[in-house]
Protein backbone atom coordinates (compact mmCIF):
# COMPACT_ATOMS: atom_id res chain seq x y z
CA UNK A 1 0.00 0.00 0.00
CA UNK A 2 1.30 3.44 -0.92
CA UNK A 3 2.11 5.61 2.10
CA UNK A 4 1.83 9.36 1.69
CA UNK A 5 3.10 11.99 4.07
CA UNK A 6 0.80 14.84 5.14
CA UNK A 7 2.03 17.23 2.43
CA UNK A 8 1.52 14.58 -0.27
CA UNK A 9 -1.99 13.83 1.00
CA UNK A 10 -2.91 17.52 0.94
CA UNK A 11 -1.47 17.93 -2.56
CA UNK A 12 -3.45 14.90 -3.74
CA UNK A 13 -6.68 16.29 -2.25
CA UNK A 14 -6.15 19.76 -3.72
CA UNK A 15 -5.38 18.30 -7.17
CA UNK A 16 -8.41 16.01 -6.95
CA UNK A 17 -10.62 18.98 -6.06
CA UNK A 18 -9.10 21.04 -8.90
CA UNK A 19 -10.09 18.34 -11.40
CA UNK A 20 -13.68 18.89 -10.26
CA UNK A 21 -13.19 22.69 -10.34
CA UNK A 22 -13.68 22.82 -6.56
CA UNK A 23 -10.88 25.12 -5.44
CA UNK A 24 -12.39 26.68 -2.32
CA UNK A 25 -10.97 26.20 1.14
CA UNK A 26 -14.35 24.74 2.20
CA UNK A 27 -14.04 22.07 -0.50
CA UNK A 28 -10.53 21.25 0.67
CA UNK A 29 -11.62 21.01 4.32
CA UNK A 30 -14.47 18.67 3.36
CA UNK A 31 -12.08 16.51 1.31
CA UNK A 32 -9.64 16.42 4.22
CA UNK A 33 -12.42 15.46 6.66
CA UNK A 34 -13.56 12.62 4.38
CA UNK A 35 -9.95 11.48 3.82
CA UNK A 36 -9.18 11.40 7.55
CA UNK A 37 -12.45 9.59 8.26
CA UNK A 38 -11.64 6.92 5.67
CA UNK A 39 -8.12 6.44 7.03
CA UNK A 40 -9.28 6.28 10.66
CA UNK A 41 -12.13 3.87 10.02
CA UNK A 42 -9.93 1.67 7.79
CA UNK A 43 -12.89 -0.50 6.80
CA UNK A 44 -13.32 -2.71 3.79
CA UNK A 45 -14.92 -0.83 0.94
CA UNK A 46 -18.63 -1.42 1.12
CA UNK A 47 -21.56 0.47 -0.32
CA UNK A 48 -22.38 1.86 3.11
CA UNK A 49 -18.79 2.97 3.82
CA UNK A 50 -18.47 4.68 0.43
CA UNK A 51 -21.73 6.56 1.04
CA UNK A 52 -20.48 7.65 4.49
CA UNK A 53 -17.31 9.04 2.90
CA UNK A 54 -19.36 10.74 0.16
CA UNK A 55 -21.59 12.36 2.78
CA UNK A 56 -18.59 13.85 4.58
CA UNK A 57 -17.12 14.98 1.27
CA UNK A 58 -20.28 16.67 -0.03
CA UNK A 59 -22.30 17.76 3.02
CA UNK A 60 -21.18 21.41 2.79
CA UNK A 61 -20.81 21.64 -1.00
CA UNK A 62 -24.10 20.01 -1.95
CA UNK A 63 -26.04 18.59 1.01
CA UNK A 64 -28.93 17.54 -1.24
CA UNK A 65 -26.80 14.78 -2.80
CA UNK A 66 -24.40 14.08 0.08
CA UNK A 67 -24.20 10.39 0.89
CA UNK A 68 -26.67 9.38 -1.81
CA UNK A 69 -26.53 7.63 -5.15
CA UNK A 70 -27.40 9.70 -8.20
CA UNK A 71 -30.73 8.93 -9.81
CA UNK A 72 -29.92 10.54 -13.14
CA UNK A 73 -27.64 9.85 -16.09
CA UNK A 74 -24.08 11.14 -15.81
CA UNK A 75 -21.72 11.97 -18.66
CA UNK A 76 -17.96 11.76 -18.44
CA UNK A 77 -16.15 14.41 -20.49
CA UNK A 78 -17.53 15.02 -23.95
CA UNK A 79 -17.54 11.34 -24.92
CA UNK A 80 -21.30 11.19 -25.27
CA UNK A 81 -21.28 8.09 -23.07
CA UNK A 82 -23.50 8.16 -20.00
DSSP string, 23-72: -SHHHHHHHHHHHHHHHHH-PPP-HHHHHHHHHHHHTTT-TTTTT----S
Interval 24-69: pLDDT, tens: 999 999 999 999 999 898 888 899 999 999 999 999 888 999 999 9
* pTM of the predicted structure, to 2 decimals: 0.71
Amino acid sequence: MLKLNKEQEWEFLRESNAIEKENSEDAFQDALLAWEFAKKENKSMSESFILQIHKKLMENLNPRIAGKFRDCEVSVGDSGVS
